[in-house]
Structures are given as C-alpha cells and as structure tokens.
Amino acid sequence: MELLNRVALITGASSGIGEVIAKNFLDEGAFVFGCGLEEHANIDHKNFHYKKANICDEMNCKELVSKCSDVFGGMDILVNCAGVTGIGTIDDTSVSEFRRQFEINVFGLYTLTQASLPLLRESKNATIVNIVSELGVKCIPNRVAYCPSKAAVAMLTKCLAVDCGPSIRVNGILPGLTETPMTQMRYLQADDPEKERQKTRDRYVLKRMCTPQDVANGAVFLASDKASFITGDMLAVCGGGQFITC
C-alpha cells in the first residue's frame, strides 16, 4: 500500500474526481478526511471522515484543519480538488462570474493550503497535490474565466513548492476534460450527446476522455514515496491535450 497510515485532507470529496481520489487513497491505506459543499459523501469506510465546508471561508478552513487533527492526529497530504468550471467569452461572462471562478479555484485553494501548513510541517511525509487542468497551460475558446483561474493555480503550485520546500512537496495534475457530475450537463443538453462526447475525445492524442480514475492514479503517485524527489511539477493526465491547440 503506497499511502499506508498517511492522513489526507481532500477537498471536493463528495463527488466527481475528488470522490474517486478519496476512494483510491483509502484503498492505498490512507486515512481520509474529506470535505465538500454537499451534506454527505458517498463513501462508507472506517478510515473516512467527512465534513461539509466552504473552502472560500477562512474560518471554515481553520475548522477543517482542526477537525482533521482531532480525528486523525495530524495531516500528511493535502489534495486540493474542489473547483468550478464555466463556459463563456468576455462578451457574455459577467464580472461576478469571473470573480466566482477565481474565488473558488484560486482563493479557496490558497485559503485552505495556508490553514493546513502548520499541520503539514509536523509531518515527515508532507505533500500537496493540486488538481489544475490542461487549460491551465493552454487556452481554448469560451473559457475566459476558467483558463486564467487554472493558470493561476499552476503558477501558485510552483510558488508553493519554492516557499514550502524542502519539508513539503507541492505538485499539480493537469487532467483533460473529465465527465463528472459538474461537466456532464453539457453532454446531456446537446442535441446528440454521443457526438458531443466524440468531439471531446478527438481533442486528444489518445482519442478518449480523461476519467476520474486516471486522475486518481496520478494523485496516488504524487502523494507517495515514489515521487519523493518531485516538486513544483505538473503531471499531465490529459492524453496529450496539453500541447494540442484547438
């Protein structure tokens, strides 16, 4: 087991990629403290604890970290997975929507990371894994808020690696477009959902969509000792999409 007896705090653990990461960490022997905006998570495991929380609220973040310490005695791993996406150009994306995506994707991550540092610095195996996006390193049309917000997360990951080393490793994952409850609606609303999915697959060199399990595999690796000499890097889990322009 790659993460035996490690304590991980995982945001967005109540659905989508975060939920699958949490389940994989549990399979690898970790104790997982999950959080999200939902009342409950779909995980029933003796080593899993969940708390509803808003990571954009500083007091909520401090309470999460304190509760994680109370329940599991510390923290070794922070996985910043919570985030939002949105479709739109500058002509049809309001200032408030632009701000909302930055507030959650960037400021929420920053707020919880800052609150977690005292616990992480007590660990001998401390690491942070940020779920970024392939769109943090390239742009596509109609993502005027999302692409810049994820680019900020990519740069923030590198800054954190410098600031928090050598005691804490910090890395990011660049997932391709993954069909999760958050993104599924765009396919369900299409005139031909399967045709729309195929358009997504065709964006990638490997001609398939990213799955939550693909991202979870990368998160397990980066959080494990197998990645012990890796920090400030981006693991592209996007089938070659990081260098293909649309």
The set of catalytic residues is 146
Residue 138: both structure tokens together: 């390239």
pLDDT band of residue 193 (cuts 50, 70, 90) is: confident
Instruction: Kindly list the distances between the CA atom of residue 244 and the CA atoms of 55, 123, 132, 205, 206, in Å, as whole numbers in the listed order.
Output: 33, 39, 17, 8, 11
pLDDT band of residue 246 (cuts 50, 70, 90) is: low
pLDDT band of residue 150 (cuts 50, 70, 90) is: very high
**pLDDT per residue as tens digits for the range 65-88:** 999 999 999 999 999 999 999 999
CA distance 241 to 138: 9
CA distance 73 to 58: 21
In the predicted structure, residue 198 carries a pLDDT above the cut 80: yes
pTM over 0.85: yes
CA distance 237 to 150: 15
79 DSSP β-pair partners: 10, 129
HEC secondary structure over 45-70:
CCCEEEEECCCCCHHHHHHHHHHHHH
| Confidence at residue 190, expressed as pLDDT on a 0 to 100 scale | 84
Angle at 132 between CA 41 and CA 245, to 5 degrees: 130
**pLDDT per residue as tens digits for the range 84-106:** 999 999 999 999 999 999 999 99
Query: Cis link prior to 166 (omega < 30° from 0)?
Result: yes
Between helix 58-72 and helix 109-120 the angle, nearest 10°, is 30
| Confidence at residue 181, expressed as pLDDT on a 0 to 100 scale | 78
| Confidence at residue 183, expressed as pLDDT on a 0 to 100 scale | 76
Provide, rounded to the nearest whole percent, the portion of the chain with pLDDT above 90: 89
Cα dihedral 185, 191, 194, 197 in deg (nearest 10): -50
In the predicted structure, residue 188 carries a pLDDT above the cut 90: no
**pLDDT per residue as tens digits for the range 17-46:** 999 999 999 999 999 999 999 999 999 999
Chain-centre distance for alpha carbon 53: 16
Residue 114: both structure tokens together: 């800052």
Of 31 and 243, which is predicted with more confidence?
A: 31
